[in-house]
Amino acid sequence: MPRHDPVHMPDRLEVEAPAIAHARFAIGEVVRHRLFDFRGVVFDVDPVFANTEEWYEAIPESIRPSKDQPFYHLLAENMESSYVAYVSQQNLVTDDSDEPIDHPAIAGLFTGFEDGRYRLRQEHRH
């Protein structure tokens, strides 16, 4: 009678891992939205979409980005106001204006604006 060994493992397990998209923008970098007229400073990055399904479905299907790319949390501004934005990598470009962002939360997260980017406060680094 053949012996059944419940703890026997195959010599090699092959697991298919999803492709990993690399973040193109860094915390403190100033970026501009590719389609809409706003810019902002990156304060956090999600390697893939990490917001609610309701938020995602609210984006018109014709411009809805893929979920399998980095998404950036921005302290954003436009001509009317400042706010927090969540934007896919495909919709961001580097902002070359060398102008600071006017957002009330910047002083709490960053120090200094130099060479087009902000430095993260020491207490927020890990």
- Look at 78 and 7; give whichever has higher pLDDT: 78
Average pLDDT over the chain reads 88
Whether the full predicted model's pTM is greater than 0.85, yes or no, is no
Closest CA to 56 of 43, 75, 38, 69: 69
Percent of the chain scoring above 70 in pLDDT:
83
Q: Looking at residue 116, what is its pLDDT?
A: 87
- Look at 95 and 10; give whichever has higher pLDDT: 95
Question: Confidence class of residue 10 from pLDDT cuts 50, 70 and 90?
Answer: low
Neighbours of 20 (CB within 10 A): 9
